[in-house]
Amino acid sequence: MTVRILVLSFYYPPDLAAGSFRIDALVKALLANAGDNVQVDVVTTQPNRYHSFGAAAAQLQESPRLSVRRISLPMHESGLLDQARAFAFYALGVRKAVQGKDYDLVVASSSRLMTAALGACVGYFIKTPLYLDIRDIFVDTLPELFPSRFGQLAAWIFSRIERLTIGQASRVNLISPGFLSYFAAHYPARDFSTFTNGVDEIFFKQLPGNVAVAPSGQLIRVVYAGNIGTGQGLHLILPEMAKRLEGVARFTIIGAGGALEKLQMTLKLRGVTNVEVISPVERKALLKFYQDADVLFLHLNSFKSFRRVIPSKLFEYAATGKPILAGLAGYSARFTQAKISNASVFEPCDIEGAVEALLSLSLAPVTRETFMQDYSRVSIQKRMAIDVLETLRRRPA
């Protein structure tokens, strides 16, 4: 008898997103650790993370024991209404894809709660256990993203959706141990797992070959790669920081997002000349930028809710061996300082602290083999897959 697992994720390869890389590794681990009688059906979207990065993907992709169905979405930007409309198309597509099918387990990986809620709805109506992978505390973030009555109302509504969603789940994983304080307080009767993000195989196979440091007198080459949104707050730190470091450093920013125009406008208004902004590139091409960098930069906005997270980019940066300049606070700052050598941490949005942190870094690359082994994505997702399969086995007869 075939055991069927439904996996819901808004992002999946070839899309460029942390959730995409994570769920890809989990699906591979499920197939590797389950028996031959297990069929995994992934329902996701056509690549849509960045409009400037186009990647063709089959609507239906089938291979032994794995089926991937991609739902087409309307063109959308990073605005709230656009994202809500896009998710509505995804939800309708999921409903159509699962109609008339029986599953033994639903797995949903979610950052902004709604994919988790969708998984809860599917699990409820087909009377199937649900395994949730929570990648963000959306309710905690809303009041800071929207500091108005709208944000308070949205948080009130989504807190109730969250409670129903968590209540429906048989098992819940939290992507950061920093989330435990929130979830333990709100759901004290629950036991949570904490399988984090990790270092992908590509960084084990293709470590940087160019480890040259910028010669004395030359500009320090600083690279940022990732989303450019309100959550990253680059427009609040980079223009002034880069201006202060003219003649000392030059910055390459690789990415896109809802705050890109704000960043570009601020750079222009400040007359910044040592920052180059490049559209997102695929991971293999990104390795070349990492190889040529002297320092890798990341930054989160000063939202209190972000003090619980571990940015997925940290694992990628750490694997390169390059010095890391990180604007972080709370759990992520402690994690970086404790686990990653030659990483300089400053308070988010603190321009003076950022300049001092950069100038205090040693520009020589280091070896972080222990970190890479401890946080190997393959190893972490294997343990998570076993946890998922245990949930399946505990299903009442």
Domains and CATH numbers, the chain: 3-198+376-393 (3.40.50.2000), 201-374 (3.40.50.2000)
Q: Which of 13, 78, 1, 26 is nearest to 383 (CA)?
A: 26
**Mean pLDDT to the nearest integer, 48-73:** 83
List beta partners, residue 42. 7, 68
**Mean pLDDT to the nearest integer, 290-304:** 96
Position 361 pLDDT exceeds 60: yes
* Helix/strand number for the chain, H first, E second: 15, 14
Phi/psi of residue 46, each to 5°?
-65, 150
| CA atoms lying within 13 Å on the CB side of residue 192 | 27
> Scanning the structure block, which residue is given the tokens 């990483």?
343
**pLDDT for 195-214, tens place per residue?**
999 999 888 875 544 455 56
Looking at residue 210, what is its pLDDT?
Answer: 47
| Confidence at 240, pLDDT banded by 50, 70, 90 | very high
Q: Which residues of 169-205 are buried (b: 16+ CB within 10 A; e: fewer)?
A: bbbbbbbbebbeeebeeebeeeebeebbbbbbebbee
Position 139 pLDDT exceeds 80: yes
Looking at residue 309, what is its pLDDT?
Answer: 96
Looking at residue 71, what is its pLDDT?
Answer: 96
The percent of the chain in helix, strand and coil, each rounded to the nearest 5, is 45, 20, 35
Position 363 pLDDT exceeds 80: yes
Residue type, 267: L
CB 151 within 8 A of CB 159: no
Q: How far apart are alpha carbons 111 and 144 in whole angstroms?
A: 16
**pLDDT for 15-27, tens place per residue?**
988 999 999 999 9
Position 269 pLDDT exceeds 60: yes
Looking at residue 76, what is its pLDDT?
Answer: 62
